[in-house]
Amino acid sequence: MKLSGSRVKARLIAVAAAVVLGLAAVVYHLADYAAGTGVLILAYHRVGDFDSEYAVPVGEFSAQMDYLQHKGYHSITLDQLAEAIETGAGLPPRAVVITFDDGYWDNLTNAYPIVAARGFVMTVFVVPEYIGRYYDFLTWPQVAELVATGRVTIGSHTMDHQPLAELAPGQQAAELVDSKRAIELATGLPCRHFAYPFGSFSQDTLSILAGAGYRTACTGITGLNWQKTSLLLLRRTNIVKSRWGMWDFRARIFYSEVKFAGEKLLSQIF
């Protein structure tokens, strides 16, 4: 039987559509599987109507927290995540850690009320040298206010927002140890969590962090976290001002899920 040109074309289109749909189904299931087994860490900077790519408007942030709640996400602390990775302790399904880098004042005035209203908890990585020096950042009394809520963990983001990989080991140690001490003095609580400024670290950084008594460190590497993720190399999903509303947020989480599922499958094969 000879097919006409247009029929061949129609069949090709049908086959291509089936392949695309099949692939989409596989990717969708991979993401779903990932969401069920990996822990999501969201990385924010500012919440408010500021002229910066890193500022998520209040309405948008609120809608994102609503989305997490409706999707059945459970907000956990970095200590809970560390405990789960260290001991194999169970975590609630769809666990999420909400983090903020740099310690902007709007983390208290804009982000915190929205997080707390949903029963969530959050972590703020502060830069001690910025505190009380620059207007855009939290003051120590504001940091204390966050701590007093019992819903906020304060972590370190170095003393002066330095790209650690570019520093000599001695300087790296000073950034890590001094910031930890400054935060502990101000909050009266141990400071055990860290986020790498600019996502920058070297092999030295990892041993200095561990030696200084840090329990976890958040990178800028995309993905989810599970039993085999190093606690000093936690994966995050960076959230910036959206271009397409909630689709942007969902797409970023979806990408982390698919990347994680792919890596996890590969690690099980090889």
Q: Which residues bind Zn ion (CB under 5 A)?
A: 101-102, 197
Q: Which is nearer to Zn ion, 199 or 262 (CB)?
A: 199
Token digits for 264? Answer: 């996890």
Q: Which is nearer to Zn ion, 38 or 197 (CB)?
A: 197
Q: Which is nearer to Zn ion, 85 or 218 (CB)?
A: 218
Burial (CB < 10 A; 0-12, 13-18, 19+), residue 14, is exposed
CB neighbour list of residue 161: distance below 8 Å, 6 or more residues apart: 102, 127, 129, 130, 197
Q: Which is nearer to Zn ion, 101 or 257 (CB)?
A: 101
How would you classify the pairing of strands 193-195 and 40-44? unpaired
CA 127 vs CA 109, 202, 253: distances in Å: 18, 20, 27
- Give least dist CB 150 to Zn ion, A: 25
- Give least dist CB 23 to Zn ion, A: 37
Instruction: Identify the CA nearest to 79 among candidates 233, 192, 227.
Output: 192
Residue nearest to Zn ion (CB): 101
- Give least dist CB 157 to Zn ion, A: 6
Dihedral of alpha carbons 23, 24, 29, 30, sign: positive
Q: Which is nearer to Zn ion, 102 or 129 (CB)?
A: 102
- Give least dist CB 102 to Zn ion, A: 4
Q: Which backbone phi and psi does 246 adopt, to 5 degrees?
A: -65, -25
| Cα–Cα distance for residue pair 163/165, rounded to 1 Å | 6
CB neighbour list of residue 3: distance below 8 Å, 6 or more residues apart: 11
- Give least dist CB 195 to Zn ion, A: 7
- Give least dist CB 140 to Zn ion, A: 19
Q: Which is nearer to Zn ion, 125 or 254 (CB)?
A: 125
| Cα–Cα distance for residue pair 246/205, rounded to 1 Å | 36
